[in-house]
Structure 1
Amino acid sequence: MEETASGGASAARVAAELRGVLGRLNRRLRQQADVGDLTRSQLNLISRLEREGPATVSDLARAEGVRPQSMGATVAALEEAGYLRRDPDPADRRKASISLSDAAREQIAASRLVRQDWLQRALSRELTREELERVHEAIALLSRIVGNA
């Protein structure tokens, strides 16, 4: 690892290595979850609806930075597959409010459990108790960097 003049690790080097490791970890976690034939944009939309709750197609298109027509096609495909439902918007009954179906919520929860189980087993298999404690300490430091977002 690159060091600064004072002998410590360079922030630039740590940032580059951390980004690489987190990217690989994220890919491994995604591999554990069976998302079927969903595209990245479909998965992003499902994640957004889970985090932020129901929204109109226009609101979703704006949030994802795509045209409303493109978002409409994504919503229609997910609705047909049973992941989304469309209800009259409570604020304007002429609009539709898009939300996750119960089946989608169940699949998200199951997928999360699979990823959690894989990571727990990997941590137990690869790290000593002391190393696990160091990772736990690093999590607190990383949390400080990203804040409570």
Structure 2
Amino acid sequence: MSELNESAATLRMLVGKLSRRLRESAPPGDLTWSQVSVLGYLVRDGAMTVTELAAAEGVRTQSMGATVASLLTAGMVQGEADPSDGRKTRYTATAAARALISANRALRDDWLVRAIDTRLSADEQQQLLSAIPLLQRLADHAS
């Protein structure tokens, strides 16, 4: 295995581990992580259809329909007819959902700030900050 292959495998593993640690730092309460993820899209990107949400999450439309239905029941989303195509419904996050997502993000951000501050030296913190644009480019790259 080449050095690049080994590095890619290590990076994948570390990103997964970091993601799990971030999730552990802010439990989703009564919601599932799938529901929290959908709310995150709606808060960040605005109103979306079930089809758009399914594409964003990489799941089947039927599965997303069930997730959205459960969020409707929980009062976390509301639906309105699409202004350009009344046959479609666009969903938005309610105030309760926005507050939940904001609190969840704050908990994860706080955990990450504490981890960076306590585990990395000032030089290491600078190295990490310098790598963020590179990681962003990788994350934004379409497959």
| Superposition TM-score, scaled by structure 1 size | 0.77
Secondary structure at the aligned position of 2:91 is classed as strand
SS in 2 for 1:17: helix
Change (3 A) 1:127 1:83: same
Q: Given that residues 76 and 93 in structure 2 are in contact (C-alpha distance below 8 angstroms), is that contact kept between their aligned partners in structure 1?
A: yes
Alignment of 1:32-71 (within 5 A): 32-61=25-54, 64-68=58-62, 70-71=63-64
1:21 aligns with 2:1: no
Query: Which residue number in structure 2 is paired with residue 130 of structure 1?
Result: 123
In the alignment, which residue of structure 2 is the partner of 1:88?
Answer: 81
Aligned counterparts, 1:130-149, within 5 A: 130-146=123-139
The residue that corresponds to 2:71 in the other structure is 78
Q: Does the Cα contact within 8 Å between 2:42 and 2:48 map onto a contact in 1?
A: yes
- 8 A Cα contact 2:81 2:90, kept in partner: yes
1:121 maps to what in 2? 114
Instruction: Deviation per CA, 1:60-106: give whole Å up to 9, x if none.
Output: 445543143x4332212111112101123222345432111111111
C-alpha separation in 2, matches of 1:75 and 1:139: 33
Q: Unpaired segments of 5 or more residues in structure 2?
A: none
- TM-aligned CA deviation for residue 11 of structure 1: 0.9
> How far has the Cα of 1:144 moved from its partner?
4.2
Contact 2:77 2:97 (8 Å CA) reproduced:
yes
Q: CA deviation at 1:58?
A: 4.3
Cα distance in 1 for partners of 2:140, 2:104 equals: 26
Greater helix percent: which structure?
A: 2
CA RMSD of aligned residues (A): 2.6
Where does residue 7 of structure 1 map in the other structure? none
- Which one has more relative contact order, counting CA pairs under 8 Å at least 6 apart? 2
Which consecutive unaligned segments of at least 5 residues does structure 1 have? 5-9
Give runs of ≥4 in structure 1 deviating > 6 Å: none
* Higher mean displacement: 71-80 or 87-96: 87-96
